[in-house]
């Protein structure tokens, strides 16, 4: 296999707040190959967004990357200066946010904003820039792209604004795109269109993606591999289909089992007891222990990642049964 385009090793990003240290990302590792899509799933507060921000060097005070490494095409990102990072962002690695309204400037036309994104990294004539912008809008499924360049964001629907944000992220054909729940706020029909296009784009352009989502079904149809986060750690990772069919970590197994599709209509769903922990008061040892029906005294120490073949899990008593396949 060729070298990974993105390689993350034992990355830790902590927030030093008055209430205490929030270990939002606490030792995560993964590799991403060219054109590969990795789904990053987990509940709110598990550290998905902070992971994305860390990859792009966007973490602000009171937070910082405290240790670990992020290598993009061999370049270590965690030691770069702010200026060096800025020249990489949008060019070699870019991010798509959950809320496209926050990304787009309401005062500027779509064309002006795309032009600025082009100018940030490249010198192109007005004609060529417009052609490039229109080409990308077409690619993400916006009809009559040339005319649309003169429109303002408020003239677009939520789905179209998100497409524009994706087009901007794609402008310089970055090696890696981090997409933070970009379709969560959209309707299923629009979500399906965008997922479909993103999958084809990754295939055609070789752009690798980290696709952040809390929806297992969304990532299962898009990502070839999966990382499941809980309380700032990746608790399980591996090929998507393998993980969903044969989860090892009790949390992954619980998430899959609790899906309505896994129970007969009207019957009680399998539920994970308890609530997600506060990162300020994590229990000693395995953070999932208070909610885990397999927990023993051993779990009072923190499990390391166990690797087997191309997958891994952080659990002393992994689940081994095969998940039931829904009809």
Partner 1 sequence: MSSFLSIDNVSRLFGPNLTTGEKIAAKLGSKVETRSVRAVSDVSLSIRKGETLGLVGESGCGKSTLGRLIAGILPPTTGSVTIDGKPVMENGTKVTTRVQTVFQDPFASLDPRMKVGDTVAEGPIAHGLTTKGAAREYVAGWFERVGLDPVWADRYPHQFSGGQRQRIAIARALAMQPDVLICDEPVASLDVSIQAQIINLFLELTHDLELTCVFISHDLSVVQHVSDRVAVMYLGRIVELGPVAEVFGTPAHPYTSALFGSVPKLVLDADELVHFETIEGEVPSPLSPPSGCYYHPRCPLASEQCSAQQPATQPVAELRAVACHHFEKQLAKATA
Ligand X SMILES: Nc1ncnc2c1ncn2[C@@H]1O[C@H](COP(=O)(O)OP(=O)(O)O)[C@@H](O)[C@H]1O
Residue ranges that bind partner 1, judged by CB under 8 A: 43-44, 157-160, 187-193, 195-196, 214-218, 220-222, 224, 239-242, 244-245, 254-256, 258-261, 263, 265-266, 268-273, 275-276, 323, 325-326
Pick the piece of the chain touching ligand X (CB under 6 A) from 40-48, 67-75, 217-225, 290-298: 40-48
The yes or no reply on residue 42 touching ligand SF4 (CB under 6 A) is no
Quick one: what does residue 292 bind among Mg ion, ligand SF4, ligand X, none, with the CB cut-off 5 to 8 Å set by partner type?
ligand SF4
Judged by CB, which is closer to partner 1: 80, or 192?
192
In 3D space, the residue among 23, 10, 12, 14 whose CA is nearest the CA of residue 278 turns out to be 23
The residue to which tokens 């524009």 are assigned: 164
The answer to whether the beta carbons of residues 165 and 158 sit under 8 Å apart is no
- The CB-of-286 to ligand X minimum distance in angstroms stands at 18
The yes or no reply on residue 44 touching ligand X (CB under 6 A) is yes
Quick one: what does residue 48 bind among ligand X, partner 1, ligand SF4, none, with the CB cut-off 5 to 8 Å set by partner type?
ligand X
Q: Which two tokens stand for residue 26?
A: 């606490």
Judged by CB, which is closer to ligand SF4: 198, or 289?
289
Query: Alpha-carbon distance 149 to 156, whole Å?
Result: 11
- The CB-of-299 to partner 1 minimum distance in angstroms stands at 18
Candidate list 63, 100, 159, 247; residue touching ligand X; CB under 6 A: 63
Quick one: what does residue 299 bind among ligand X, Mg ion, partner 1, none, with the CB cut-off 5 to 8 Å set by partner type?
none
Which element (helix H / strand E) includes 229? strand 225-230
The answer to whether the beta carbons of residues 179 and 96 sit under 8 Å apart is yes
The yes or no reply on residue 137 touching ligand SF4 (CB under 6 A) is no
Query: Alpha-carbon distance 3 to 97, whole Å?
Result: 27
For residue 250, cis peptide bond before it (omega within 30 degrees of 0): no
The answer to whether the beta carbons of residues 170 and 177 sit under 8 Å apart is yes
The yes or no reply on residue 229 touching ligand SF4 (CB under 6 A) is no
The yes or no reply on residue 315 touching ligand SF4 (CB under 6 A) is yes
The residue to which tokens 């309204």 are assigned: 101
Could you tell me the strand order of the sheet in which 176-180 lies?
93-96, 176-180, 208-213, 37-41, 225-230, 233-239, 311-313, 306-308
Candidate list 250, 254, 277, 312; residue touching ligand SF4; CB under 6 A: 250
Query: Alpha-carbon distance 196 to 26, whole Å?
Result: 33
Give the Cα-Cα-Cα angle 44, 252, 304 (nearest 5 degrees): 95
The residues binding Mg ion (CB under 5 A) are 49
Instruction: Compute the Cα dihedral for 157, 163, 169, 170 and give only its sign.
Output: negative
The answer to whether the beta carbons of residues 8 and 233 sit under 8 Å apart is no
Helix (H, G, I), strand (E, B) or coil at 104: coil
The yes or no reply on residue 50 touching ligand X (CB under 6 A) is yes
The yes or no reply on residue 7 touching ligand X (CB under 6 A) is no
Judged by CB, which is closer to ligand X: 24, or 257?
24
Residues 274-313, one symbol each (x = binds ligand SF4 by CB under 6 A, - = not), give ------------x-xx--x-xx---x---x----------
Judged by CB, which is closer to ligand X: 113, or 252?
252
Query: Alpha-carbon distance 233 to 244, whole Å?
Result: 19
Residues in contact with ligand X by the rule CB under 6 A = 15, 17, 22, 24, 42, 44-50, 62-63, 279
């Amino acid at each position: 296999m060729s070298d990974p385009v993105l390689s993350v090793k034992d990355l830790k990003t902590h927030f030093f707040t008055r209430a205490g240290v929030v270990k939002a990302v606490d030792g995560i590792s993964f590799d991403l190959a060219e054109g590969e899509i990795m789904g990053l799933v987990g509940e709110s507060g598990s550290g998905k967004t902070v992971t994305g921000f860390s990859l792009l060097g966007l973490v602000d005070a009171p937070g910082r990357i405290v240790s670990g490494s992020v290598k993009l095409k061999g370049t270590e990102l965690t030691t770069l200066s702010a200026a060096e990072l800025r020249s990489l962002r949008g060019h070699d690695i870019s991010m798509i946010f959950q809320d496209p309204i926050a990304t787009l400037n309401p005062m500027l036309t779509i064309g002006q904003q795309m032009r600025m994104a082009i100018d940030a990294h490249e010198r192109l004539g007005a004609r060529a820039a417009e052609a490039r912008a229109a080409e990308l809008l077409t690619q993400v499924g916006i009809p009559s792209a040339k005319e649309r360049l003169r429109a303002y964001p408020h003239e677009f629907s939520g789905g179209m604004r998100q497409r524009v944000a994706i087009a901007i992220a794609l402008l310089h054909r970055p090696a890696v795109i981090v997409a933070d729940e970009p379709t969560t706020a959209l309707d299923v029909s629009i979500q399906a269109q965008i997922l479909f296009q993103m999958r084809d784009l990754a295939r055609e352009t070789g752009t690798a993606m980290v696709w952040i989502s809390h929806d297992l079904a969304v990532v299962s149809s898009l990502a070839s591999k999966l990382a499941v986060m809980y309380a700032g750690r990746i608790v399980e990772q591996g090929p998507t289909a393998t993980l969903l069919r044969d989860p090892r970590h009790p949390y992954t197994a619980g998430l899959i089992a609790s899906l309505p599709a896994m129970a007969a209509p009207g019957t009680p769903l399998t539920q994970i007891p308890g609530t997600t922990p506060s990162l300020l008061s994590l229990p000693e040892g395995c953070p999932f222990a208070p909610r885990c029906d397999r927990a023993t005294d051993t779990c009072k120490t923190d499990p390391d990642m166990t690797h087997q073949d191309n997958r891994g899990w952080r659990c002393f008593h992994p689940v081994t049964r095969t998940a039931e396949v829904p009809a």
